[in-house]
Amino acid sequence: MTFLASATTIPMPAVGCGPAVGCAPDVGQVPVDCPAPSAPGPAVPGLAVFGAPRLLAGLIGVDGLGRLDGLGRLDGSGGVDGTQGVDGSEGMNGARGVGGPGRTDRLDRVAHLARHGSPPVLSASELVALAEDTGLRGRGGAGFPFARKVRAVMEGRRRTGGRVAVVVNGSEGEPGCLKDTVLLLFAPHLVLDGALLAARALGAEEIAVGVTRADVARSVRRAIAERGPLSTPVRAELLAERFVTGEGTALTDSLNRGPGLPSGRKVRSSERGLHGLPTLLSNTETYAQLAVAARLGALGYRATGDPAEPGTVLLTVAGERVVEAPTGVPLARVLALCGLGPGQGVLIGGYHGTWLPPSAAGTALLSRDDLAAYGAVLGAGAVLPLPEGTCPAGETVRVARWMAAESAGQCGPCVLGLPALADALGQAVGGGGQRALDAVRDRMRAVEQRGACSHPDGTARFIASALAAFPDEFAGHAGGAGCGRPVLGALPVPGEAAYGVGGAPQASDRRRSGDRAAAATSARPHAPEQRLLVDWTLCQGHGLCADLVPGMVRLGPDGYPERAAMPLPARMRRRAQLAVRRCPALALRVQDGE
């Protein structure tokens, strides 16, 4: 076995049309961007596989990191379960990759078909059966069962006379996650296969692919053009780079030419999405996995990975290397084969995720059930080990300040609460004492369940997990002792200079559009008979409601109501209705029990 000394980054090859590539012809109204061939592209991560790859199959420049069997254990054969490796090689053994080092080639339509063959055509019922038999779940963060999404769209189709749509979420806003970028840059046809397969099964009238990188948009548009005329129109849209862009209602709003903000209400895309139609919305990797499963069949797909959660998963390790591995692989094995260790701990699931201490990182398996035992979820597949030489408290402050600046700017508790939380954390780490640490916890409670999306909750969860994982570090810094280590910036944050331990985002930054997203719709509490609800997308902090419904609505330190939903006793209904009518921002409403 060969251990890699470090994760490497390889330059992205040109995905537009240059003299060495040749321009693909325009097809219909599909635009094909042709950048100057000399223009340098942004860096993308190195690619690696364990055993025989599926999603990354056929890509030149993929490193083989080790021979693993279907459950992520080392075996002595040449590949997974004794099969051959990619392109007939004797397995992936680290000494030899799929192709030459230092470069990765994009699979065009011809190379894609040569590697994967043509996908089958499935009916809607066959699509549901395949998703159920393979246990396919969304790979964008929430892990929602794909079969349930398809069924919900089928139900919605009956209400709209057969009109539905399909959306591919390629916005990928998490700074430590680049797997979807890799797929759309290097294997876009695999993603399109899955989206078209689902669209044809459902009779969808359109497929929209939402991305936030110009190079990714060019790659997808080029892939669309390479396919020629399609029975289902496909378009790729370049969207604003905001943390919330990937949230379901924000994504469909962007694709509908809206401002691209979360709706503030729990609206499932399967009920109302693209153009108001029932929409099958899922992540880039999910559609790629569907394309692989359709070709292999349920039994073939289940031959790899954890029997309870079969298949492979794409992981972004340390923000630098995208790895395809069987589900259920030991986390420690992934890190070791990438030349890394758990360090001071490993953040799983990105900046809305959970820290695992080194002891847990040494035993955890990368499966849904196993991670749940540690209170963690794999989310979009970000795996971020924290090196020994950096300060955990300082790294947490950097991320908290960046997350505060990533507010969509539409709900007061997020716009004001998250910067206040980040400032409180910075004061505590700067030697503010126990009172400052207590203020951090108070600020966390003040933002929970009060946003138009889950961004405030996820940020508070990240900080709470860091406080629990590194209690001595934060106590020492609050007490003025510090740790003596520098802040190396091990956790990737766009715009490094603005988010150091000594600095804070400018006020204008708090409303700016950010670089990353992975947000999901926040769940509402169980409904009593009636509730008074605050719509955070409209609330402007006037505070009149607290005067009109005293004892029921209380204002937080930021001047906004403390809670988003309040049980409404019968004796208070008249006053509540008065508050609804008099709210200057129309942000209040009374909702009957569900």
Q: CA angle at residue 525 from 523 to 529, to 5 degrees?
A: 140
What's the pLDDT at 574?
78
Do strands 312-317 and 321-326 pair parallel, antiparallel, or not at all (unpaired)? antiparallel
Domains and CATH numbers, the chain: 109-300 (3.40.50.11540), 306-380 (3.10.20), 392-479 (1.20.1440.230), 531-591 (3.30.70.20)
Is the predicted pLDDT of residue 514 greater than 60, yes or no? no
In three-state secondary structure terms, 116 is helix
Instruction: Give tens-digit pLDDT for 4-15.
Output: 222 332 232 333
CA distance 387 to 394: 13
Average pLDDT over the chain reads: 78
Is the predicted pLDDT of residue 424 greater than 60, yes or no? yes
Most confident of 313-327, 434-448, 543-557: 313-327
CA distance 561 to 553: 6
What's the pLDDT at 394?
94
Block residue for tokens 């370049």: 238
Place 499 in a pLDDT band, splitting at 50, 70 and 90.
low
What's the pLDDT at 42?
58
What's the pLDDT at 578?
81
Q: Which letter does DSSP use for residue 202 in this model?
A: H
Q: How buried is residue 356: exposed, middle or buried, by Cβ count under 10 Å (0-12/13-18/19+)?
A: buried
| Consecutive H or E run containing 222 | helix 214-227
| Consecutive H or E run containing 157 | helix 146-159
In the chain, the percentage of residues whose pLDDT exceeds 70 is 77
Spatial strand order in the sheet of 279-283? 234-238, 207-211, 165-170, 279-283
3-state helix, strand, coil in the chain (%, to 5): 40, 15, 45
What's the pLDDT at 532?
87
Block residue for tokens 């057969």: 162
CA distance 207 to 166: 5
Query: Quick check: 250 and 210 in contact, CB under 8 A?
Result: no
CA distance 4 to 527: 53
| Consecutive H or E run containing 581 | helix 573-582
- Alpha carbon dihedral 134, 140, 143, 146, in 10-degree steps, equals -50
Place 590 in a pLDDT band, splitting at 50, 70 and 90.
confident
Is the predicted pLDDT of residue 67 greater than 60, yes or no? no
Is the predicted pLDDT of residue 74 greater than 80, yes or no? no
Query: Quick check: 237 and 257 in contact, CB under 8 A?
Result: no
Do strands 309-310 and 305-306 pair parallel, antiparallel, or not at all (unpaired)? antiparallel
Q: Which two tokens stand for residue 533?
A: 């609800």
* Residue that wins the pLDDT comparison between 551 and 14: 551
CA-closest candidate to residue 517, choices 140, 110, 136: 140
Place 43 in a pLDDT band, splitting at 50, 70 and 90.
low
Instruction: Give tens-digit pLDDT for 139-186.
Output: 877 778 999 999 999 999 888 888 999 999 998 888 888 999 999 999
What's the pLDDT at 230?
93
Instruction: Give tens-digit pLDDT for 94-105.
Output: 222 222 334 678
Of the listed ranges 30-44, 198-212, 501-515, the least confidently predicted one is 501-515
CA distance 284 to 305: 20
Radius of gyration of the chain (CA): 24
Global pTM reads 0.74
In the chain, the percentage of residues whose pLDDT exceeds 90 is 44
List of E strands, 51-174: 63-66, 165-170
Averaged over 544-571, what is the pLDDT? Answer: 83
CA-closest candidate to residue 264, choices 565, 594, 582: 565
Instruction: Give tens-digit pLDDT for 515-542.
Output: 333 332 233 333 346 888 888 888 888 8
Q: Which two tokens stand for residue 358?
A: 């080194």
Instruction: Give tens-digit pLDDT for 384-421.
Output: 999 999 999 999 999 999 888 887 676 777 778 888 89
Ramachandran bin of 505, using left for φ above 0, alpha for ψ from -120 to 50, beta for the remaining angles:
beta
Place 210 in a pLDDT band, splitting at 50, 70 and 90.
very high
Averaged over 574-585, what is the pLDDT? Answer: 83
Q: Which two tokens stand for residue 428?
A: 């505590």
Q: CA angle at residue 364 from 361 to 368, to 5 degrees?
A: 130
CA distance 495 to 325: 31
Is the predicted pLDDT of residue 549 greater than 90, yes or no? no
Most confident of 29-38, 65-74, 566-575: 566-575
Q: Which letter does DSSP use for residue 366 in this model?
A: S
